[in-house]
Amino acid sequence: MGDGPIGDEVIAQGGVMQQVKTAYTTAISVQQPRNIELVTQALMAESRMAGELFYYGWGAGKNRIEGGSVHLATTAARCWGNCAITAEPVQDAGDSWIFTTTFIDLETGFTISRQFRQSKKSEVYGKHDSERKDDIRFQIGQSKSARNVIFNALPKWLIDKARVQAQAGVREKLQRYIDSNGIAAAVDIVVKELAKHGIRPEAICAKYSIASPAALQVEHLVALRGDITALQTGQDTSESLYPDVDGDALAAQVNKKAAKPKPKSNKKPTKPEPKPAVKPDPADEVVDVESDAEPTFEHREPPTGTAEAAATAMEHAQTAPVTEPSPADDAALEKESLETMQLDNYLQAIEQATDNPKLAELQLRAEKDRQISSPAFTRIKKAATARSMDLG
């Protein structure tokens, strides 16, 4: 018999039951065998609709990683079918919890277990009491343990494809908003949402190695939408997604990125007017104080003549005019620096583009960008043409 009413019903329908009394199981016969094509179709459809709920990124700079969320993991397991995810007893390690989760593929007999350590001191933002914050930390650890074991058990290509599909859905929504309101408005919304979770603009810039939030592109905003959702749903913490959010090293990194060499002036140097010949004073052969020529600032040796000559030389040095840059000069320099930074961002995006539609989009955006001058736009067009030839 099937050892119970449910087992009897399964056997009566022609199914096969197996009683497992160990931590492992062998492959068993199932009524509906897995069809990879149907699994993929179902998961892609859900990923497109779920959007930012299915992914987020952590780390900064070269250490930045993007991955799927626990919601993508559980959906993938459900679409995969004929499997089970079990949680083992939690180990209390004093300053942390150790979670152990096991994935069992009933159809193939494949079994894998993964452990995850969740710190009891991880930062939790929000107006919660200490007990509630402990609950949040515990739930985060439990979710990450389940997510990790599912992602290790299922095919990597399937999970990556689902994440890309989810990002594509978000990208479409963002592009529609940007077409109507501009990318600056979209950036402002994202930055303000992250600020609610204690994420400063400097941390966002460090994550993507850019000089300012104004340099964020659509791809960055797609990833940041996933981060916001992960923080809002309690899947992760800000210190995990944006490490060193309050560190001095982060500020130094952003300042180094923002520092640019002074742009070279296109003005040709003017030729100094010839100094009119003046008959030297017999008492002073060192300094010519009667000349109408502009004072020069080259180094001069101390006068070796009379005391009167020395005093005259000192007076000349003290009254030499010092030219201060005007506000107009400062504004022009700042404008050139901003254009240089924005040009670098466009050239970098072109270099990383993987298809011609993306190149066309970058050219159109640069053409409408008020910070990009005609010579800079010409450079962008040449770079896009060269990249297009590389892509074929």
pLDDT digits (tens, 9 = 90+) for 274-312: 555 555 444 444 443 333 444 343 444 444 444 555 455
| Averaged pLDDT score across all residues of the chain | 75
What is the Cα–Cα distance from 68 to 62, expressed in whole angstroms? 19
Are 359 and 365 in contact by the 8 Å Cβ rule? The answer is: no
Helices marked H in the chain: 5-12, 36-50, 70-80, 130-153, 156-181, 183-195, 201-208, 218-232, 238-241, 248-258, 307-318, 327-352, 356-368, 374-391
Instruction: Give pLDDT tens digits along the chain (392 positions).
Output: 445 555 565 556 555 555 554 455 667 777 889 999 999 999 999 999 988 888 877 666 666 677 888 999 999 999 999 999 999 999 999 999 999 999 999 999 999 999 999 999 887 777 788 889 899 899 999 999 999 999 999 999 999 999 999 989 889 888 999 999 999 999 999 999 888 888 888 888 888 888 888 899 988 898 898 888 888 877 777 777 776 544 444 445 545 555 555 555 555 555 555 555 555 444 444 443 333 444 343 444 444 444 555 455 555 545 545 455 555 555 555 556 566 667 777 777 777 777 777 778 878 877 877 667 888 888 888 888 887 777 76
What is the Cα–Cα distance from 353 to 335, expressed in whole angstroms? 27
Are 80 and 149 in contact by the 8 Å Cβ rule? The answer is: no
What lies within 8 Å, CB to CB, of 51 at 6+ separation is: 166, 169, 170, 173, 225
Angle at the Cα of 338 from the Cα atoms of 352 and 181, rounded to 5 degrees: 70
pLDDT digits (tens, 9 = 90+) for 370-392: 667 888 888 888 888 887 777 76
Pairing relation of β-strands 55-58 and 91-92?
unpaired
